Structure 1
Amino acid sequence: MFQDFTSRSTPAHGPARLALLRQAIASEGLTGFLIPRADAHQGEYVADCDARLGWLTGFTGSAGFCIVLPEVAGVFIDGRYRVQVKSEVDLGAFTPVPWPEVKAGPWLLEHLPAGGRIGFDPWLHSRKEVEDLRRALDGSAIELVETANLIDAIWTDRPAPPTATARVHPLDFAGESSAEKRGRLAAGLAKQGAQAAVLTLPDSISWLLNIRGADIPRNPVVQAFAVLQANGHLTLYAEAAKFPPEIRAHLGNEVTLRPVSAFAAGLRSLPGPVQVDPASAPHQVGRALEEAGTPVLWAEDPCIAPKARKTAAEAAGMRAAHLRDGAALVEFLAWLDTEAPKGNLTEIDVVTQLEQHRRATGQLVDISFDTICGAGPNGAIVHYRVTEATNRRVSPGELLLIDSGAQYPDGTTDITRTLAVGPVPEGAAEAFTRVLQGMIAISRARFPRGLAGRDLDALARVALWSAGMDYDHGTGHGVGAALCVHEGPARISRISDVPLAPGMILSNEPGHYREGQWGIRIENLILVTEAPKLGDNRDHLCFETLTWVPIDRRLIVVEMLSQPERAWIDSYHAGVLARIGPLVGAAARDWLVAACAPL
């Protein structure tokens, strides 16, 4: 459970492994091969046995892919990883490609103008991904070829698949029984004329069955496939070792457990139409159904929307988890404020101490992702992960960015605070204040029902834009309730058209980064709620803040804030003191009183 600080990056092995892969590509009569970050469940985080992209390239980010050709191997990474990739991959062997600005199709057309045969594992790419690439290559001489996984063929010491034991997620935390969920979703399938739906996302299956697991680091899910029938019966394809008798009793008679090895054959025996999600199900799922002559209804995983709209019990659990987590953070920050200015701490010291404070709650299941703790220039690496090789001293006169979270039985947390260690670097306070203004703008937003994250994203950026600044990541992502810290379908982003709805929980985390100097990000979690009626009583929504931890007042340029912004900060800090003050020790409470003083 403790965070591992050893480096997962393997640049020294990159060229040798790349050479082996190119030999395998040539022996299959191919020109190239696609290596995604994703596994067969299309998860953001993968088990060690599925970390093919990292094994080949050394890149450890949570999103991206590689295309290996005879003369070039492109590693496609988004704005979060532009700095990180340069330190993790062998730049003599791999070429970073800015994605999604540069997409796979145009890149292949540029590098293979005479055509070629590009292999891909149909279990590791969604139907939508494959079809999008086919359309981009339409009219060219480049052919996409389904093949066995060529990485697996050369990865001789590949770890075994995970078999962690599942556990029951109590009804008190879920707010709805598995039978009720299955009945509700099954009725929806029947209404659409579907006989069954194939489920491939572990968080969907874990949510639907009210179970949790430990197959994936930091994500309390059970890796499995499932088929939900229109009569409410569910066939679960997972290894039996994960389900002791008490879990099988919880699942009940309407859930049939079968081994993963039976999944492919099970698909071919289904009566249709069968609902399949083109954005998340492996391409091979649709292929198997079509080969069996089974009609396919392409539609979103039926669990995704209801899972995103938390029940009253889930919202209550998230509130409780954030109060517990807030108290742990305040104890930690009080300690950090004393120790960091001495100049003796390293990033690993900070991460270790923070986890110890969370563990002291007695309810920590796991951290919700590897803690991002970047001192000085490391803070500019958006998804920086400290290792023994990169571990940096926390020095006075620098900023320290800490993005962390926890998994508790009743909820999931995710919080970022940027802190001043001693004197504030030039320009940092002004940038911090603009980031804070963006975070406040989202927190205070009131908006008509039906708007999506893309309609709100600019609110977080206006103060930065006015000074010629911005950040290369979304403003917020969905968050699960005692589930994955990154959850679809909604987010606050320029590219998100999913309408926000009551019960959705999102992060609110604008930032600004100066490579080689510092990074700034401030993050709270927020819950979409019904807004009180005003004016002509239009149907509006707003946000309830869930995170209660002080924002570093030493980095705020008060004169830059409007009166409503100052009022929001003072009100927020008063709320922190009222909620968290009674939960911490005397020393931390004294620190908290000062940290929450009015501007």
Structure 2
Amino acid sequence: MFQSFTASTRPSDGPPRLAALRAELAVRGLTGFLVPRSDAHQGEYVSPHDERLSWLTGFTGSAGFCIVLPQIAGVFIDGRYTLQVRDQVALDVFTPVDWPATLPGDWLRTHAPTGAVIGFDPWLHTPDEITRIETGLSGSGITLSPVTPNPLDAVWTDQPAPAQGKVRLHPLDLAGKTGAEKRADLAEELKRAGSGAAVITLADSLAWLMNWRGSDIIRNPVVQGFAILHDDARLDLFIDPAKVSQIPEEAGVTRHPVSAFPEALRSLNGATRFDPATAPVAVKAALAEGVAGADPCLMAKARKNPAELEGMRAAHRRDGAAMIEFLAWFDAHALDGLTEIDMAVKLEECRAATGALRDLSFDTISSTGPNAAVIHYRVTEGTNRKLAPGDLFLIDSGGQYPDGTTDITRTLPVGAVEAERRDAYTRVLKGMIAVSRARFPKGVAGGHLDALARYPLWLAGQDYDHGTGHGVGAALSVHEGPARISRISTLPLEPGMILSNEPGYYRPGGWGIRIENLIVVQEAGALGDNRAMLDFETITLCPIDKRLIVAAMLSDEEIAWLDAYHARVEAELSGAVSAEARRWLAGACAPLTRS
């Protein structure tokens, strides 16, 4: 089983570890230190070697950081983790900080003495991140100072070794382009921009560019390494040789040990592009003529080609069949006294039964009752809750398959559910359908569409504290930039981009609701004056529970969309599931009635 249900750090571990770090900082003449939830590749997940934030504080969320000062240690978390952080950290020594409502510069102005020197590891922070903090500190007398080696590593005496996962080839029929073709395309872009080379530090960019998939990071088949792409399409690759010992050498690609990367950066002549949003500060510092610019792989990776899209559709058909088997089983056993862990284990068994599952795409969020109100809840043996009559059960999950990555959320009733929860569920569904049906001109960004998902909730004075949708990789990271549906996103959506569509509503201490499908941006059919328009193809195939719907709250158009979606799910998957699940599916996909 891939799923783990134990917490990595107990709250009681935090105080002695914090004391040891403070002692090390004092020896080095530092007032404080930044501890991020990141590695040199800025991925959402990190290897055990890089779990510094979790080791120090106990907080296991996918975003956040800690600022350690002599008398206070702030753990900065966003709205997704407001409840989770209080369960995971020792509140007598760590102080949760609402971020980004409170910015690190402002917090340091309040809590750090004038003249304070705050250290940071230049391999774990981006130039954009450090610049934002320094701007917030302007005129305060507080300074940031790069520090190597990392002082936290000095006190983490049993720190695991760096990841050394093996690399495998990603077949051309799934990649759609050879690595040489991708390098040639990006090299032409560099020439047009006047850059002689570009530095690539993102693990998913490297995996996409090389047509490799890796095993360094749990849940994400990425490859940890660095690369320098030259404008003649040559690539210098910096990677642990043990990872690629079974991968044939490729013309135009020269392999080097990771230790050679800093010197290679220093030796570059001419304009070299680095991404200030994703590259380490150490990269910028090493370049003689660094030019800020986006990672050249980002947009090419986000715009999936036909082969990648077909692989994702195949993965979603397979995953949808596994979900249907699970949902049929759920309806037969939800009232049998089973727990959140039981549900997560069963769903993983259904996915594994496909014979194609390589890993989960993220830790399954299996949650019921008040746990479902924790947006990124992670069940442990200590929090595991039984499903009880009247509860809502929320399960957000996904799989990594050779041909694609899935991410789906369904909210289910455990017996009869009270009207207030059904009303909220219907509002969430209305928002999800609104995004699914959206038709919009080219040039529209995810920020323009975000309000469609929230409007039904806003009418009831409700909202949710996460983005409506994130980008998704093709057999890569389940959370992929730069495309997203979020009020802060200004990037125009383009055909081939895959996004999640996942509005929700959460009642702290009570219950939570989320419904999620994945959608693909595509050219819209002709209509009206035939202005160039885009719309979405839904690739997730799985029934949406109708028992929680207040049908009178849906318009005729919304019901028509739901009925058409269910008809498609049944038509495409009824032959891919067991006889018992097929009978369940027929009822789950029957047209919605207003009675």
Q: TM-score, normalised on structure 2?
A: 0.98
Measure, in 1, the Cα distance between the counterparts of 2:264 and 2:418: 61
Measure, in 2, the Cα distance between the counterparts of 1:443 and 1:515: 28
Shift, 1:112, TM fit: 2.4
Kept in 2: contact 1:238–1:260 (CA 8 A) = yes
Measure, in 1, the Cα distance between the counterparts of 2:311 and 2:354: 15
1:306 pairs, out of 300, 303, 318, with 300
Q: 1:278 is aligned with what amino acid?
A: P
Residue matched to 2:183: 182
Residue matched to 2:279: 281
Residue matched to 1:258: 256
Shift, 1:9, TM fit: 3.2
Aligned-residue Cα RMSD (Å) equals 0.9
Residue matched to 2:203: 202
Residue matched to 1:223: 224
Residue matched to 2:116: 116
**2:312 equivalent to 1:318:** yes
Measure, in 2, the Cα distance between the counterparts of 1:448 and 1:38: 36
**2:544 equivalent to 1:543:** no
Residue matched to 1:466: 459
Q: 2:50 is aligned with what amino acid?
A: D
Q: 2:89 is aligned with what amino acid?
A: V
Give unpaired runs (5+ residues) of structure 1.
none
SS in 1 for 2:132: helix
Q: 1:47 is aligned with what amino acid?
A: S
Q: 1:38 is aligned with what amino acid?
A: S
Measure, in 2, the Cα distance between the counterparts of 1:592 and 1:381: 30
Matches within 5 A, 1:437-448: 437-448=430-441
Residue matched to 1:525: 518
Residue matched to 2:58: 58
Residue matched to 1:386: 379
Q: 1:59 is aligned with what amino acid?
A: F
Residue matched to 1:14: 14
Measure, in 2, the Cα distance between the counterparts of 1:533 and 1:111: 59
Residue matched to 2:107: 107
Shift, 1:164, TM fit: 1.1
Residue matched to 2:78: 78
Measure, in 1, the Cα distance between the counterparts of 2:110 and 2:161: 38
Q: Which runs of 4+ in 1 moved over 2 A?
A: 112-115
Kept in 2: contact 1:475–1:507 (CA 8 A) = yes
2:364 pairs, out of 371, 377, 380, with 371
Kept in 2: contact 1:37–1:51 (CA 8 A) = yes
**2:422 equivalent to 1:421:** no
Shift, 1:8, TM fit: 1.7
SS in 1 for 2:117: strand
Give unpaired runs (5+ residues) of structure 2.
none
Measure, in 1, the Cα distance between the counterparts of 2:10 and 2:70: 21
Measure, in 1, the Cα distance between the counterparts of 2:191 and 2:419: 62
Q: 1:376 is aligned with what amino acid?
A: G
Measure, in 1, the Cα distance between the counterparts of 2:285 and 2:15: 34
Q: 1:413 is aligned with what amino acid?
A: T
Residue matched to 1:211: 212
Count of paired positions? 591
Kept in 2: contact 1:59–1:89 (CA 8 A) = yes
Measure, in 1, the Cα distance between the counterparts of 2:313 and 2:510: 35
Residue matched to 2:162: 161
Shift, 1:248, TM fit: 2.3
Residue matched to 2:474: 481
Shift, 1:70, TM fit: 1.1
Shift, 1:113, TM fit: 5.4
Measure, in 2, the Cα distance between the counterparts of 1:101 and 1:526: 31
**2:335 equivalent to 1:341:** yes
SS in 2 for 1:555: coil
Shift, 1:297, TM fit: 1.2
Residue matched to 1:453: 446
**2:581 equivalent to 1:588:** yes
Q: 2:211 is aligned with what amino acid?
A: N
Measure, in 2, the Cα distance between the counterparts of 1:423 and 1:508: 27
Superposed CA deviations along residues 153-184 of structure 1, whole A, max 9, x for unmatched, are: 10000001111110000000011110000000
SS in 1 for 2:583: helix
Kept in 2: contact 1:277–1:298 (CA 8 A) = yes
SS in 2 for 1:12: helix
Shift, 1:253, TM fit: 2.1
Kept in 2: contact 1:10–1:55 (CA 8 A) = no
Shift, 1:244, TM fit: 2.6
Measure, in 2, the Cα distance between the counterparts of 1:425 and 1:533: 44
Superposed CA deviations along residues 294-347 of structure 1, whole A, max 9, x for unmatched, are: 2111100000000000000000011110000000000111011101122x2111
Q: 1:69 is aligned with what amino acid?
A: L
Shift, 1:426, TM fit: 4.4
Measure, in 1, the Cα distance between the counterparts of 2:418 and 2:572: 32
Measure, in 1, the Cα distance between the counterparts of 2:318 and 2:225: 31
Measure, in 2, the Cα distance between the counterparts of 1:572 and 1:110: 53
Residue matched to 2:143: 143
Measure, in 2, the Cα distance between the counterparts of 1:549 and 1:127: 42
Shift, 1:445, TM fit: 0.2
SS in 2 for 1:110: helix
1:554 pairs, out of 532, 547, 550, with 547
Kept in 2: contact 1:399–1:425 (CA 8 A) = no
Residue matched to 2:353: 360
Residue matched to 1:507: 500
Measure, in 2, the Cα distance between the counterparts of 1:469 and 1:316: 37
